[in-house]
């Protein structure tokens, strides 16, 4: 069973922490969703390296040992000196999508709360999966936070490369639509680099990878409602540190 992080759900719901009515709505939504959960995850380990497309330029390619190549300066900077990484996929299952649709039919408040609860649940589930993996890593190896397609300059189109390599459909029933949306919706895919340094987390260095104006990541996090960005959060104790919108009213201290 995935634990329900209500504090996080309140944040996704854009609610104040002392908002009792929002609290009640979230509890009710959680009760409706918990019986629909069919969480699953899959991960695969690869050896990796980064390269530049042209000599003298910033590295923008991440090459896996099976021949897969991802194209992103931010991802390359995230991978940095790591020589291995995990591809990761997780989903809450299609039952949650269907339950959210039911909620939307009768109440927008309940639907909003449901979205926030589901976002909190998939995030907790991913965190739990990664924590288990972290425990199994050999001594001296450290798992970095999750870096997902859509972060920085890593195009969502590259989900088309990631999905078959990870075998998401077969392993966990996670599929990709023509326009690179994940179905079921409440799902996450990510890269997790394994480093030999104690977790520096690499937040700052990754954030600096791309000019602020060019970063789709910055745009994403500035403009979308918190409840809609479940696929865009990454893993660490404080994910807000990776967002450059420092004046956000919901930014975690």
Partner 1 sequence: MSVLDYLGKEILYFDGAMGTRLQAAGLKPGELPEVWNITRGDVVADIHASYVRAGANILKSNTFGANALKMQGSGYSVENVVLAAFENARRAFASVPEMPEEKKFAALDLGPTGKLLAPYGDLQFEEAVSLYAEIVRAGVKAGADMVLIETMSDTYEARSAILAAKENSSLPVFVTFTFDKDGKLLNGADVETAVLMADGLGVDAVGFNCGLGPDLVAKLLPRARRVTALPIIANPNAGLPVEKDGKTVFSSGPEEFADYMLDVYREGGTVLGGCCGTDPGYIRLVAERTKGMKPVSWNETAVTKNAEKGDSVTAVTGYGAPVYFGKEPVLIGERINPTGKPALKEALRNGDMDYICRLGLEQLDNGAHVLDVNTGLPGLNEAETLCKAVTSLQAITPAPLEIDTSNYEAMERALRLYNGKPLLNSVNGKPESMEKVFPLAKKYGAAVVGLCLDESGIPDTAEGRLAIADKIIQTAAEYGIKAKDIIIDPLALTVSTDSRNSAIDLAVIKALKTKGIHTVMGVSNISFGLPNRDAVNSAFFAMSLAAGLSSAIMNPQSERMMEAYHAYCALSGADKGCKEFVARYADAPKTKTAAVVSEYSLYDAIVKGLTDRSGSAAKKLLGENKTPLEIINGFIIPALNTVGEGFGKKTLFLPQLLMAADAAKAAFDELKKQMQKGRQTDEVQGDTIVLAVVKGDIHDIGKNIVKVLWENYGYHVVDLGKDVSPETVVEAVEKHQARLVGLTALMTTTVAAMEDTINALRRKTDTNILVGGAVMTQEYAGSIGADGYAPDAVAAVNYANRIFKK
Residues 218-237 that bind partner 1 (CB under 8 A): 219-220, 222-225, 227-229
Helices (H), 137-244: 159-166, 168-172, 203-207, 216-223
- Residues 42-71 binding partner 1 (CB under 8 A) are 42-46, 66-68
Min separation Cβ 124 and partner 1, Å: 19
Distance set, CA 92 to CA 119, 122, 126, 212 (Å): 10, 6, 10, 33
Residue 177 in the binding site for partner 1 (CB under 8 A): yes
Structure tokens at 161: 């490369």
Residue 15 as a binder of partner 1 (CB under 8 A): the answer is yes
Residues that contact partner 1, how many (by CB under 8 A): 73
Task: Check binding of 185 to partner 1 (CB under 8 A).
Answer: yes
Integer CA distances (angstroms), 192 to 38, 107, 136, 154, 158, in order: 23, 38, 14, 14, 16
**Stretch of 41-49, 54-62, 71-79, 204-212 lying at the interface with partner 1 (CB under 8 A):** 41-49
Rounded to 10 degrees, the C-alpha dihedral 157/207/131/86 comes to: 40
User: Residue 161 forms beta bridges with which residues?
Assistant: none
CB of 251 to partner 1, least distance (A): 14
Please identify which residue in 5, 28, 80, 173 interacts with partner 1, judged by CB under 8 A. Answer: 173
Cα 16 from chain centre: 24
Of residues 146, 121, 143, the one with CA closest to residue 134: 143
Interaction between residue 25 and partner 1 (CB under 8 A): yes
CB of 123 to partner 1, least distance (A): 17
Report the length, in residues, of the chain: 253
Is residue 249 within the footprint of partner 1 (CB under 8 A)? Answer: yes
> Which region among 36-44, 50-58, 204-212, 234-242 touches partner 1 (by CB under 8 A)?
36-44
CB of 223 to partner 1, least distance (A): 6
For partner 1, which is the closer residue by CB, 117 or 205?
117
- Dihedral (C-alpha) 98, 99, 104, 109: value to the nearest 10 degrees? -150
8-state DSSP, 139: T
User: Quick check: 143 binds partner 1 (CB under 8 A)?
Assistant: no
Q: Judged by CB under 8 A, does residue 251 bind partner 1? A: no
In the set 14, 28, 61, 241, which binds partner 1 (CB under 8 A)? Answer: 14
Site string for partner 1, 91-120 (x = CB under 8 A): --xxx-xx--xx-xxxxxxxxxx-x-----
Question: How far apart (Å, rounded) are the C-alpha atoms in residues 7 and 194?
Answer: 29
Residue whose tokens read 């745009």: 219
């Amino acid at each position: 069973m995935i634990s329900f992080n209500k504090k996080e759900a309140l944040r996704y719901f854009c609610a104040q922490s002392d908002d009792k009515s929002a609290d009640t709505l979230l509890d009710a939504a959680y009760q409706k969703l918990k019986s629909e959960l069919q969480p699953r995850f899959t991960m695969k380990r690869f050896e990796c390296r980064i390269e530049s497309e042209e000599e003298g330029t910033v590295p923008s390619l991440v090459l896996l040992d099976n021949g897969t190549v991802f194209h992103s300066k931010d991802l390359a900077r995230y991978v940095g000196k790591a020589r291995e990484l995990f591809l990761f996929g997780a989903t809450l299952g299609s039952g949650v999508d269907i339950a959210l649709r039911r909620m939307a039919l009768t109440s927008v408040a309940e639907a909003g709360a449901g979205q926030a609860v589901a976002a909190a649940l998939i995030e907790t589930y991913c965190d739990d999966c990664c924590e288990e993996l972290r425990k199994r890593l050999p001594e001296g190896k450290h798992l970095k936070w999750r870096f997902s397609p859509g972060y920085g300059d890593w195009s969502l189109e590259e989900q088309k490369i990631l999905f078959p390599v990870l075998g998401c459909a077969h392993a966990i029933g996670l599929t990709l639509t023509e326009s690179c949306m994940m179905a079921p919706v409440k799902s996450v895919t990510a890269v997790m680099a394994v480093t030999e340094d104690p977790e520096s987390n690499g937040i700052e260095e990754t954030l600096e990878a791309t000019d602020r104006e060019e970063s789709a990541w910055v745009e994403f996090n500035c403009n979308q409602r918190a409840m809609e960005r479940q696929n865009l959060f990454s893993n660490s104790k404080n994910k807000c540190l990776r967002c450059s919108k420092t004046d956000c009213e919901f930014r975690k201290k």
